[in-house]
Structure 1
Amino acid sequence: MALVVAGVVVLDCAEPEKLAAFYRELLDAEETDATANRVEIRGADGMRMAFRRDVMATPPSWPRPENSLQAHLDFHVEDLDAAERKVVGLGGRPLDTKDAQGPFEERGYADPAGHSFTLRCARPTAPKQG
């Protein structure tokens, strides 16, 4: 057994119930634990996230340099346009929607509390056979 194992990604925010609801809907997750100051969810793929109350939490300012990137989450999607509609419909906002060069296409967003995350669609990079 490993000495240290991965636990849960925790985001600080002023309103953990609201932020948990955003990610619960986005990830088709279920709430697994809730207290007055923390809500934890588990995604359909097993990913665990928690949201801890911090009334002094300051949202990251990315892409501006001051206080820019405190943490960053990547989510893999099949359809970027459909995923973007869901993010915006749940209260998230686009940060950087330029098409990325290379084998991945990705778009940056902020959740309702201002934490940045990326939706990434992997593209096959192997040459076609035959």
Structure 2
Amino acid sequence: MALVNAGVVVLDCAEPERLAEFYKELLDGRETDVTANRVEIEGAGGTRLAFRRDVNATPPSWPRPENSLQAHLDFLVDDLDEVERLIVGLGGRPLETRGADGPYEERGYADPAGHSFTLRQTPSTAPKQG
């Protein structure tokens, strides 16, 4: 069994509801998760995208270097500590390990080249034992 499963591409933006609506319509999709600062959709073909509120977001300037980073990857995991050890062993490094508000615990990392990504642990759906 894999330790890491592909998650969702997250686009940071000032108005996640508005951007989610655009992509929901474009991809004939539906909302799958909505919180105060994040909207996740799934397109008819299974494409999953999320839009996270960043009040300081600026439009991408690609290919110019200023403001060119506008997305990061989320990976869904069962065991944050185990996967963190794997990441560090492979040459990645922790960026942010504080807990997040809401139903998910997440931690930020950089890959060996410096690209950021997030591990998100979803709550267990198994019945509580004991």
* Structure 2 unpaired stretches of 5+: 73-130
Counterpart for residue 7 of structure 2: 7
- Per-residue CA shift, 1:5-63, capped at 9, x if unaligned? 10111111110000000110111111111111111100111111111111011221013
* Map 1:1-130 → 2, pairs under 5 A: 1-71=1-71
Report the CA distance shift for 1:67/1:42 in structure 2 as closer, same or farther (over 3 A). same
> In 2, Cα distance between the equivalents of 1:21 and 1:33?
13
Alpha-carbon RMSD across the aligned residues, in angstroms, is: 1.8
- Structure 1 unaligned runs (5+)? 73-130
The percentage of counterpart residues that share the same residue type is 83
Alpha-carbon distance in 1 for matches of 2:16, 2:71: 16
Q: What is aligned with 1:103?
A: none
For the residue of structure 2 that corresponds to 1:50, the secondary structure is strand
The aligned counterpart of 1:81 is none
Q: State the distance in 1 between where 2:17 and 2:24 align.
A: 10
Q: Which has the higher strand share?
A: 2
The verdict on how the C-alpha distance between 1:20 and 1:58 changes in structure 2, with shifts beyond 3 A counting, is same
- Secondary structure of 1:34's counterpart equals strand
1:49 aligned partner, one-letter code: L
Question: Which letter maps to 1:59?
Answer: P
Q: How many residues align?
A: 72
Q: Quote the residue 2:87 is aligned against.
A: none
Preserved CA contact (<8 Å) 2:12 2:71: no
Q: Which amino acid aligns with 2:13?
A: C
Counterpart code for 2:30: E
Post-superposition offset of 1:71: 4.1
Q: Distance in 1 between matches of 2:33 and 2:27?
A: 16
- Provide, for residues 88-123 of structure 1, a one-character-per-residue CA deviation record: whole Å limited to 9, x for no partner: xxxxxxxxxxxxxxxxxxxxxxxxxxxxxxxxxxxx
